[in-house]
Chain A
């Protein structure tokens, strides 16, 4: 009991330090805009930003942009996870194809695919299609690579012992390969989800017609910095919420 309460206390203490850090940061921000007179075009006052944020939320102005960004994310992630898991599984079926395709895919994963965005826009236009395509492409790689790693490197002894007890192909897949690979695939899905969100928001800021990233750039160009900051804070909150949700789901899936 005492060990536990001590651990709780430690956790509380580190939370307090984290909170203090954020408070100091916001305090410095506030001082910068009031005492040190940084131009409000460069750094708006946090209180003003807060009021802008309340305005955005109460008018519901954000809804169309949020809907577009989340739809793009959902479609991109569905494509990349379906393709990534299916292809990863097929590749993992033989040592030979792992040897051929894994280094190839790992090499492509290290290419900054966002550089191809202009090409994607030429192909798919300025609308959501190009965002979906880039998000799906970028998030495909961690998913397919983790799927290969998950299925391809299951300890041989598990397969041998299941076979020696008479497991059929289906039983081997369902009760041995799948549970062995599952945690690794889940990690791939989580990474894929995060970078799909990042690349979609990023490409919206570069060239787009709508979406949260588009809105932020639009406000920046109109020098409405306070409202832009409010939108950034909103996007950060959304991203945080989505990432925490996926981590929790992943942790639960892993049990």
Chain B
């Protein structure tokens, strides 16, 4: 019997495959040319919460946007399930954005309904699904509120409800709690861990916070400075839902320290590079004014 090796068919335990993806913004030689990602490969397992962490500007959000099909990489490809990503995949991938991506002119419930309408859910199914997902994030009493009437944390819950209602296998979250204060982040992180432990979704989560990464993730990928690529992947072996007590455990601290050590060097590199490029830009600017 022949066994045909087909590279586009993934093993069932792989939800997302990133294959030799590179990306740059602008053209070679332009002053705005930025090499954001360099030859990155990665397998994300079905049902895991995978965290991307790294210095700012290292390309972790770029990678997330490439997985979500919002950006087409300059080289390499991404497979979600068995489909190659070429543009957004509303049936397979849902997004929770960094800033507030809820439509301010619609109520919370309308926002969730609109998402399902865009995705193509039949009208009759939308309302019950919307209410269910809003209930899951604890916003059942705020369906009629406008986003402007909610706190930042509640808005991100609503955004999460909108993404959950789409019932996709993959959920991409781009620093979803980035704009929130520390306490709110902590509570939302706990709730997210509980919520996601029984949805069995594959989640890719970008964050700046070491604590958030260790607390939420099954695996954490540490990015190198620009051009970003994955430096190391750390396993966090702790069952979901995770308890607040995990945060004070020695294991947590050890993992956090390990991450910190990996990141520290990269952050220094990233900062050195950005000051160097700023200095270069400054001298270019003064040269222009002298002319």
Contacts and interface: CB of A to CB of B under 8 A. Distances in A.
Whether chain B is bound by chain A comes out as yes
Interface of A: 157-158, 160-168, 171, 175-176, 179-180, 182
B106 A163 contact: no
Given A157-B99, A158-B103, A160-B101, A175 B90 contact: no
Contact of A157 (B94, B97, B117): B97
A164 B95 contact: yes
B54 interface: no
B103 A165 contact: no
Interface of B: 68-70, 88, 90-91, 93-95, 97, 99-101, 103, 105-106, 114-115, 117-120, 166
B103 A164 contact: no
B106 A166 contact: no
Contacts of B105: 179-180, 182
A176 B100 CA distance: 14
Tell me whether chain B's interface is mostly helix, strand or loop, or mixed. loop
A158 B101 contact: yes
Given A158-B103, A176-B103, A166 B90 contact: yes
27 contacts: A157-B97, A157-B99, A157-B100, A157-B101, A158-B103, A161-B95, A161-B97, A162-B118, A163-B70, A164-B68, A164-B90, A164-B94, A164-B95, A165-B90, A165-B94, A165-B115, A165-B118, A165-B119, A166-B88, A166-B91, A166-B119, A168-B118, A171-B118, A175-B117, A175-B118, A180-B103, A180-B105
Tell me whether chain A's interface is mostly helix, strand or loop, or mixed. helix
B118 A179 contact: no
Nearest to A168: B118
Instruction: Kindly name the residue among A164, A167, A182 whose own CB sees the greatest number of chain B CB atoms within 10 A.
Output: A164
Contacts of B93: 164
Contacts of A158: 101, 103
B166 to A, nearest CB: 7
Instruction: Kindly name the residue among B90, B105, B114, B117 whose own CB sees the greatest number of chain A CB atoms within 10 A.
Output: B105
Contacts of A163: 70, 88
Contacts of B106: 179
A40 to B, nearest CB: 56
Given A157-B97, A165-B115, A165-B119, 17 more contacts: A157-B100, A162-B118, A163-B70, A164-B69, A164-B70, A164-B88, A164-B90, A164-B94, A165-B94, A165-B118, A165-B166, A166-B90, A166-B119, A166-B120, A168-B118, A175-B103, A176-B103
B69 to A, nearest CB: 8
Contacts of B88: 163-166
Nearest to A167: B118
B137 to A, nearest CB: 17
A5 B90 CA distance: 52
A165 B117 CA distance: 9
Contacts of B119: 165-166
Instruction: Kindly name the residue among A157, A166, A167, A182 whose own CB sees the greatest number of chain B CB atoms within 10 A.
Output: A166
A175 B119 CA distance: 13
A14 to B, nearest CB: 28
Contacts of A175: 103, 114, 117-118
A171 B90 CA distance: 14
Contacts of A160: 70, 97, 101
The 3 closest A-B pairs by CB, nearest first: A166-B90, A161-B101, A167-B118
Instruction: Kindly name the residue among A162, A168, A182 whose own CB sees the greatest number of chain B CB atoms within 10 A.
Output: A162
